[in-house]
Chains A and B, each alone.
Chain A
Amino acid sequence: MSEPHLAISKLKEKFPNSILEVETFRGEITAKIAKRDIYEICRFLYSDPELQYHMLTDLCGVDYFPETPRFEIVYLLHSFKLNHRLRLKVRVQEGESVSSVESIWKAANWLEREVYDLFGVPFENHPDLRRILLWDGYEGHPLRKDFPVEGPDFDKPYKPEV
């Protein structure tokens, strides 16, 4: 095992109790993070002068139904300074919410709305948490594993409101 990446060693030093696990697969580093500290960790990774993870490349949800905690939120950060990608993960119980990172990266605005829309995971302190791909009033969250692929109303006849 080679030396841990700068970002990981810095994180372990700064947040010793919140870094639950670090994995490397095919050269990609993934850190599993305690949910309560996700905002502070992101803030630190963004503002630390040696790291400068200035871009939130991606933020997405994963549903591990029927495991508990059920959901996982995956953050993919990019640092132009280090030319490095770092993946963070937090686990979320159904009904729980996650701190929004929108105030750090504006890119999170739409990405968090998408996770809220398709998985039903709410984000605290998000300025505009609405559905984004589906319409307001849609029932259910399609990317959950217990949502049928063909949709819930597949076998019901279509009756438009007149």
Chain B
Amino acid sequence: MAETRWMTINMGPQHPATHGVLRLVLELDGEIIVKAIPHIGHLHRGVEKLAENRTYHQVIPLTDRLDYTNAMGNNLAYVLAVEKLLGIEVPKRAQYLRVMMAELQRIAAHLIWLGTHVLDIGATTPIFYTFREREEVLRIFEEVAGGRLTPTYLRIGGVAKDLPDGIEEKIRDFVKTFPQRINEYETLLTQNIIWLKRTKEVGIISKEDAINWGVTGPTLRGSGVKWDIRKAFPYSSYDEFEFDIPVGTVGDVYDRYIVRLREMEWSNSIVRQALDRLPKGPILSDDPRVVLPDKEMVLTDIASLIRQFKIVSEGFTPPKGEVYASVEAAKGELGFYIISDGSNRPFRLRIRPPSFLNLGALPKMIEGSLIADVISTIGSIDIVLGEIDR
């Protein structure tokens, strides 16, 4: 009787196609994967624990570093949760600025995904195109917020500062040229026979399985579930914008690719709508408990100086209670669950990481397929280990 033996190989943590420090233990029967066991945690920094020891304002920079390709979206999810806890309203202009930045960030995050994903599969050219456009977005962030990768632009109650002079023209230029750029990516990939062979019918996950595994974001929509937090639980005035939710049919790598491309087009359209209809007015809420006073006032008025000092040193104390707020981040549903005990620090801050649950479904997608397909499947679920390991 012939003896059956499986070969166990180790992929990562130092592997260019695992997008960070992910280790996969693969058991192989020839070239077929029998079992895949992901090992995570190499980038664990204890963000949830750190947050318990900081005031609410001090947590914002930590959120930038979760999914570091989607910093604005992370900021947004966190400040929405705190604002819900406090029960404060954010001015319309700030809401529109938040939407604009979150959508630009989504474009930038999807551009990283596209460039690196196709590079993993072997197409070297598109990454030069996508990073060219991503650079334009990061330049915009640099002018608006001062930071490129970790802008920390959002504040509890609004945004850090208003748009600088001349930036609206630059954003408009970007929005005008970007659809043309997407066409360029499509000419390189969408009908490319090698690309089709590597992505069609690869890494399939069905609708029911995707929901059961807690998969969200473009990966869920690629499987044909028309569900997006921006539509299901609208936040930050998303109900005032016109956009559609692109969905796939098969749930393979190719469908997820198409969904993300269409999402970039819609994001681009949302940025244009936000620019066209950007309301005038304040960019911060006027709640004196939470929002820092105007700098001019701090320098001239003693009461404002005291208030500034108190908010910076002690923070503020929200009411007792617990809230959950989530946004549609580039990777999926990013949620923050905050329990407040009435003190100036969160009693418990739980981050619901989309990539964590999407990666949890990876074994389901790749077991039974070829080892070469692991690379394209990992690329297609678009994981960022900074968020998985927290």
Using a CB–CB distance below 8 Å, which chain A residues touch chain B?
A: 25-26, 28, 30, 54-58, 60, 62-63, 74, 76, 80, 83, 85, 87, 105-107, 109-111, 118, 131-135, 142-143, 147, 149
* Contact stretch, chosen from B168-176, B209-217, B276-284, B366-374: B209-217
A80 contacts which chain B residues (CB < 8 A)? 211, 225, 227
Query: Min CB distance, B354 to chain A, in Å?
Result: 10
Using a CB–CB distance below 8 Å, which chain B residues touch chain A?
A: 40-41, 44, 46, 48-50, 52-53, 84-85, 87, 209, 211-214, 225, 227, 232-233, 321-324, 326, 333, 335, 337, 339, 347-348, 350, 352, 356-357, 360-361, 364, 389-390
B323 contacts which chain A residues (CB < 8 A)? 25-26, 28
Please give me the residue from chain A that is nearest to B212 by CB atom. Answer: A106
Cβ-defined contact, B337 with A74, below 8 A: yes
Task: With A107-B360, A149-B53 given, name 12 new contacts (CB 8 A).
Answer: A26-B323, A54-B211, A60-B350, A76-B324, A76-B337, A107-B214, A109-B360, A131-B41, A133-B44, A133-B390, A134-B41, A134-B44
B350 contacts which chain A residues (CB < 8 A)? 58, 60, 74
Assembly CA distance A80 to B208 (angstroms): 12
SS of B interface (majority):
mixed
Cβ-defined contact, B324 with A142, below 8 A: no
Pick from A25, A110, A133, A143: contact of B389, CB under 8 Å:
A133
Assembly CA distance A87 to B322 (angstroms): 11
Cβ-defined contact, B322 with A25, below 8 A: yes
A105 contacts which chain B residues (CB < 8 A)? 212-214
Cβ-defined contact, B50 with A149, below 8 A: yes
Cβ-defined contact, A62 with B214, below 8 A: no
Please give me the residue from chain B that is nearest to A60 by CB atom. Answer: B350
Q: A83-B232, A110-B360 are in contact. Are A60 and B337 (CB under 8 A)?
A: yes
A87 contacts which chain B residues (CB < 8 A)? 324
Assembly CA distance A143 to B347 (angstroms): 11
B87 contacts which chain A residues (CB < 8 A)? 26
Cβ-defined contact, B214 with A57, below 8 A: yes
A109 contacts which chain B residues (CB < 8 A)? 360
A63 contacts which chain B residues (CB < 8 A)? 348
Pick from B211, B322, B335: contact of A55, CB under 8 Å:
B211
Assembly CA distance A135 to B41 (angstroms): 8
Please give me the residue from chain A that is nearest to B335 by CB atom. Answer: A58
Please give me the residue from chain A that is nearest to B323 by CB atom. Answer: A26
Please give me the residue from chain A that is nearest to B339 by CB atom. Answer: A62
Assembly CA distance A159 to B319 (angstroms): 46
Query: Min CB distance, B388 to chain A, in Å?
Result: 9
Cβ-defined contact, A58 with B212, below 8 A: no
Cβ-defined contact, A142 with B49, below 8 A: yes
Please give me the residue from chain B that is nearest to A63 by CB atom. Answer: B348
Assembly CA distance A67 to B229 (angstroms): 36
Assembly CA distance A60 to B347 (angstroms): 14
Query: Min CB distance, B348 to chain A, in Å?
Result: 5
List, sorted by A's number, 11 A–B pairs whose CB atoms are closer than 8 Å: A30-B322, A54-B211, A57-B214, A58-B335, A62-B347, A76-B337, A80-B225, A80-B227, A106-B209, A111-B357, A134-B44
B347 contacts which chain A residues (CB < 8 A)? 62
Cβ-defined contact, A58 with B40, below 8 A: no
Assembly CA distance A40 to B333 (angstroms): 27
Pick from A57, A62, A107: contact of B335, CB under 8 Å:
A57
Give me the 8 closest cross-chain CB pairs, A-B, nearest first.
A107-B214, A133-B41, A110-B360, A58-B352, A60-B350, A25-B321, A133-B44, A106-B213
